[in-house]
Structure 1
Amino acid sequence: MTGKEKVKLILPKVKPRDLIKDDKWIFFPGDIVQVIGGETGYIGKQAKVLDVVRKLNSVTLENVKLATKHVRPNPIMPYGGKITKPMPIHFSNIKLVDPTVGKITDAKLKKEINQTTRRAEIFRILKESGTKLPVPIDDGPVDKYESSTLDTPKEAVLERTWTPSIFQIPFPARFMNQMERLRRMNSGRGEF
């Protein structure tokens, strides 16, 4: 291979009918799993699930299937560089590790109504020991956010810049004038 050729990462395309349904998906970030298939260098290794890639029916594991990526200059890395990051592993190549026994096991999702809160709770029942493993609550992208130098300082966020008053219009005057113009233009049509 010459230096001018580009290597393109080809990800498997999963058709919508082949995606695992929500009521069958048992892997979540924070779970400990064991690699049971795929590349031979990783078989038998236990790792923590970092992220779930549902579009590919895959998960990324901590310190498993690491790849070196070249990064262009950006605010975090002004000169660019190389980073190592975990690549996705297909869900069929991993199994959950039962935390009580320490062995690999299958799991089944179960939904029950909590008698005290009267809300539906989803958990996984592990076949090896029969224990209940809770499904972690997804807080969204907030917990995955990494702070950078371009973020607004906390002091500026907490600074009070506007005080509500009954005598002030909550919208800027330009906006209210534009809304009044639109109301007058559309008043003859019976709209707005």
Structure 2
Amino acid sequence: MPKLNVPKVKAKDLIKDSKWILFPGDVVRVIGGEKASEVGKEGKILDVVRKMNSVTINEVKMQKKHVRPNPLAPRGTTLMKPMPVHFSNVKLVDPHTQQLTDAKLIKKISKETGRLETYRLLKSSGQKLPVPADDGPVEKYEKSPLDTPNSLLAEKTWTPSVLNIPFPPRFMNQMERLKRMNSGGEF
């Protein structure tokens, strides 16, 4: 399988967490880039690719992806997939004024709760824009007919016991051989 050709960004050129203002769900507008046809398009950020200083935007910079035959598509198929756009080519759209804006990430302790509060201060309107909570990678997956049903997930299928071997016999036999070869029992 060929490797994905990902442009390398040096560690010194990566945007620091304290400066990164774009998050999934934000609406952005493309202000530059390779294709003039992409400039001016607006869309929601689907994913942030921090290793490349890029974001993927819904319906922007679409590219064909060929999918091999699988149970869902027995003859294979071609999909249109959004590709990453460098962060310098996009600008945040202020949800209050619908204008392009810059933002500053602010972290401070709330007086009411005493907890660290993180938000973005929009320069065009002066409004606060909350940083969305990270739901983790589980939320990114879509349901598929090949997924295990929830009813089977809750079912208890194995009970640990001294009588049950936790590993397959072939593996355990190999471990015994290694013990004997090392003649000390340690490896």
| TM, length-normalised to structure 2 | 0.80
Aligned partners of 2:31, 2:162: CA distance in 1, in Å? 61
Could you tell me which residue of structure 2 aligns to residue 182 of structure 1?
A: none
Deviation of the 1:153 alpha carbon: 1.2
For 1:22, the equivalent position in structure 2 comes to 17
Match of 1:148 among 132, 144, 148: 144
State the 1:125 CA deviation.
0.3
* 2:148 corresponds to 1:138: no
Counterpart CA distance in 1 for 2:122 and 2:144 is 40
Identity of aligned residues (%): 59
Q: Residue deviations 1:65-106, cap 9 Å, x none?
A: 100111112333332110000010000000000000110000
Q: Deviations over 1:11-55 (max 9, x none)?
A: 422111111011010000000001100121011111110000111
* Amino acid across the alignment from 1:33: V
Q: Distance in 2 between matches of 1:17 and 1:75?
A: 44
- What is the CA–CA distance in structure 2 between the aligned matches of 1:17 and 1:78, rounded to whole Å? 45
Secondary structure in 2 matching 1:102: coil
Equivalent residue, structure 1, for 2:31: 36
Structure 1 unaligned residues grouped into runs of 5+: 1-7, 164-169, 179-184
Cα distance in 1, alignment partners of residues 61 and 93 from structure 2: 19
* Alpha-carbon distance in structure 2 between the residues aligned to 1:15 and 1:65: 24
Asked if residue 95 in structure 1 is aligned to residue 113 in structure 2, the reply is no
Q: Is the 8 A contact 1:36 1:44 kept in 2?
A: yes
Query: Number of residue pairs matched?
Result: 167
State the distance in 1 between where 2:99 and 2:122 align: 11
Does 1:70 pair with 2:71? Answer: no
Root-mean-square deviation (CA), in Å?
2.5
1:55 to 51, 55, 76: 51
Gaps of 5+ in 2: 167-171, 173-178
Does the Cα contact within 8 Å between 1:76 and 1:148 map onto a contact in 2? no
Using a 3 Å threshold, how does the CA distance of structure 1 residues 119 and 82 change in structure 2: closer, same or farther? same
Amino acid at match of 1:29: P
- Counterpart Cα distance in 2 of 1:73 and 1:114: 53
Cα distance change of structure 1 residues 82 and 126 upon mapping to structure 2, 3 Å threshold = same
